[in-house]
Amino acid sequence: MANIREEIEKLKREKNAVILGHYYQRGEVQDMADFVGDSLALAQWAARTEADIIVMCGVHFMGETAKVLCPSKKVLVPDLAAGCSLADSCPAGRFEAFVKAHPGYTVVSYVNTSAAVKALTDVVVTSTNARQIVESFPQDEKIIFGPDRNLGSYINAVTGREMLLWDGACHVHEQFSVEKIAELKRQHPGALVLAHPECKAALLKLADVVGSTAALLKYAVRHPEETYIVATEAGILHEMRKQCPQTTFIPAPPADNASACNECSYMRLNTLEKLRDCLRDETPEVTVDPAIAARAVRPIERMLEISAKLGL
C-alpha cells in the first residue's frame, strides 16, 4: 500500500495532476485526494484548478461536470463504470419530452444528471445550494425539478413551492429504514439524526439536521459533543471521524442486514490501484460531446455564479 501511495504522489507531480475526491469514496482513496468535498465543492475546485489533469475520484457525472467546465483539460475517473442510479433514473430523451410537455417552466436539475440532461436545464443545483437557488426565483415561478423526487419534495416542503418533480431517486438513500433509525434513537437516547435530503420524506421528518454531506459534516464539527446517527452513504464517516475523533457516529443501518446497501457500489468501484493505473496510463478519460458541453456549461456556470454570490 505504501508503494502505491508513493507511486500516485510521484505520477501526480510528474503530470501536474490534481486528485479530487468525494466524501463517499473509500477512505484510502479520500486520503490520497488533494481535495475532498461534496458535489458543489468538487465542481468549484475543478473550475479553478490550474492542473493539466483532473482525476475525479467520484462518479461519472462528476467527471462530466469537470470536463464541461474545463474542456481543454484531461479528466480521468479511475473506473468509468462508476455511474449513479439517480442520474440513470433520468434518461435525456424522456426528460426532454417532459420539459417539452411543460412550456414556460424553468428547469432546475440536480447535479446528479448526465451532461445531456444538464444541456436541457436552466440552472443546475446541488444539495448544498438547491434550496437557496430555488428561492432565488419568484415564488410563483413555474419550475420543473429533476431528477430526485425526495430532494424535490423536501424543497417544496421547506419553501412552500409546488415544483413539478421528476420521479427519480438514489438507491442508497431511498433504502434507509425509518423503523430501524427510530429503534437506534431509542437505543441511543439524545443521539441526533443527520440525514441527506435524498432520503425519503418520512425519514427526513425524524431527522434533527437535513443537509448535504458538507453541511452534515460541518454540523458535527461545530457540535462534537453530540452523538450522531448518520443517514447518508457511509463513506462520509471517514471524514467525520477524522475531524471529530472523540465523537460517536453511528451509521444508519441498511434496510436489509445482509447487504451493505448504505454504501454506494458505484462510488466504491474506485480503488487505490485503479487511481494509480489511471494516472499512469491517463485513461479512462471522460469525454463529453462538444455540442452537449456547449449547452451544459451555461446552467453549471449559473449555479457557480449564484453560489459565489451566496457565499457557498
- Contact set with ligand SF4 (CB under 6 A): 24, 59, 84-86, 112, 170-172, 233, 264, 266-267
String of contacts with ligand 13P for each residue 187-216, x by CB under 6 A: -----------x-------------xx---
Using only C-alpha atoms, the chain has a radius of gyration, in whole angstroms, of 19
- Does position 129 interact with ligand 13P (CB under 6 A)? The reply is no
DSSP code of residue 233: -
Residue type, 283: T
User: Minimum distance from CB of 173 to ligand SF4 (Å)?
Assistant: 6
Q: Name which of 24 and 176 has its Cβ closer to ligand SF4.
A: 24
Cα 234 to Cα 194, 249, 276: the distances in Å are 12, 10, 24
DSSP tag of 105: P
- Angle at Cα 80 formed by Cα 77 and Cα 83, nearest 5°? 105
End-to-end alpha-carbon separation of the chain, Å?
36
Candidate residues 85, 114, 127, 129; the one interacting with ligand 13P per rule CB under 6 A: 127
Residues 214, 37: Cα–Cα separation, whole Å: 7
Cell matching residue 274: 485503479
Q: Find the shortest distance in angstroms from Cβ 23 to ligand 13P.
A: 6
When asked if residue 150 is in the footprint of ligand 13P (CB under 6 A), the reply is: no
Nearer to ligand SF4, 51 or 177 (CB): 177
213 makes contact, choosing from ligand 13P, ligand SF4, none, with CB < 5 to 8 Å by partner type, with ligand 13P
Residues at the site binding ligand 13P, with contacts judged by CB under 6 A: 38-39, 112, 126-128, 170, 198, 212-213
